[in-house]
Structure 1
Amino acid sequence: MRRIVVRNSPVHGRGVFALADIRTGSLILEYKGKLVSWKEAQRAYARSNAEGGHTFFFDLDDGRVIDGAQGGNSARWLNHCCAPNCAAEQDGERVFIRAIRAIKSGGELFLDYRLQVDVPRTAAVRRTYACRCGSVECRGTMLAAS
């Protein structure tokens, strides 16, 4: 039985939604895609016509990246929220998405992206990575706390 579906999100673009109730601690899905070096990911982004700052990259602890735009699955559509209901767990070269709170059927699944950038946090950078989650805990950005 399918537990999730991708559809339009009120937060941003597309999102992942529960088709049935998901219990706290449940493993939901794996973040899939092509395993690439950070340099290769940067080259792929430069060649893409992605809107500013938008990628399907998932950084691994060893500096490599899972590029969900290449061979990815529904996990690439997980949106950011400052009060997420899911967390990512890395196991070697694999990343799994687990519920950290109960999620009702029809609810959108969220991760806290905690993005890192290698440039100063100018007003333009803050606009590029502005958060739209609407949570009472919203910190206004998808960037990691500095």
Structure 2
Amino acid sequence: MPTPRKPRIVVKNSRIHGRGVYAARRLEAGKNIIEYKGERIAWKEADRRPPSDPDDPFHTFFFSLDDQKTVIDASVGGNASRWINHSCDPNCETEETDDGRVFIQALRDIRSGEELNYDYSLTIEERLTATLKKNYECRCGAKTCRGTMLGLNKRQLKAQPKR
């Protein structure tokens, strides 16, 4: 009987935010690590849903697809991928396939025990304010941290205070 392979990832507490996903063994650059799973819904439905955590209404498990109409809600039928945190200096990225599946892929070789993260680059339709930046505050600790999980345009990046 073959020996079972060690799992690729493990979920545990994170210094960045609550829970996080960690490499349980070395992960190779360019390889898919996990698929972002959950219920597929329209944005209208996503906007109607209560927050995953009522104490933190800006924290959701929504992943917007490229069509800008569909959202994966990982709080319903999701997997460990929903616990992957944001970083301004990520070791992973998301890759959407032609059929709308989303995979978390390693940008570089990742050591065993290293936390997985990708740049959320969240988009909002509202004007960027200090309150919004605070609501989407980044705690990644990277030297290149922009202070927010929001995807900022070039003008907004220039206006950012130096860290």
Give the shorter-chain TM-score range.
over 0.9
Q: Is 1:122 matched with 2:129? A: yes
Q: Is 1:132 matched with 2:139? A: yes
Q: Is 1:108 matched with 2:115? A: yes
Unaligned runs of 5+ in 1: none
Classify 1:14/1:47 alpha carbon distance in 2 versus 1 (closer, same or farther; 3 Å).
Answer: closer
Which structure has the higher relative contact order (CA within 8 Å, separation 6+)? 1
Counterpart selection for 2:100 from 81, 93, 97 = 93
Counterpart selection for 1:36 from 22, 41, 46 = 41
RMSD of Structure 2 on Structure 1 (CA): 1.4
Classify 1:47/1:78 alpha carbon distance in 2 versus 1 (closer, same or farther; 3 Å).
Answer: closer
Please give the secondary structure, in 2, of the residue aligned with 1:69: coil
The one-letter code matched in structure 1 to 2:145 is C
Q: How high is the sequence identity, in percent, across the aligned residues?
A: 50
Match of 2:56 in 1: 51
User: Bigger shift: 120-129 or 49-58?
Assistant: 49-58
Per the normalisation by structure 1, the TM-score is 0.95
Report the Cα distance in structure 1 between the residues aligned to 2:90 and 2:96, rounded to whole angstroms. Answer: 17
Q: Higher Cα Rg: structure 1 or 2?
A: 2
Classify 1:46/1:96 alpha carbon distance in 2 versus 1 (closer, same or farther; 3 Å).
Answer: closer
What is the CA distance between 1:64 and its match in structure 2?
0.4
Match of 2:156 in 1: none
What is the CA distance between 1:48 and its match in structure 2?
6.3
Match of 2:76 in 1: 70
Q: Kindly provide the CA deviation profile for residues 9-37 of structure 1, in whole angstroms up to 9, marking residues without a partner as x.
A: 00101000000011111110100000000
Please give the secondary structure, in 2, of the residue aligned with 1:45: coil
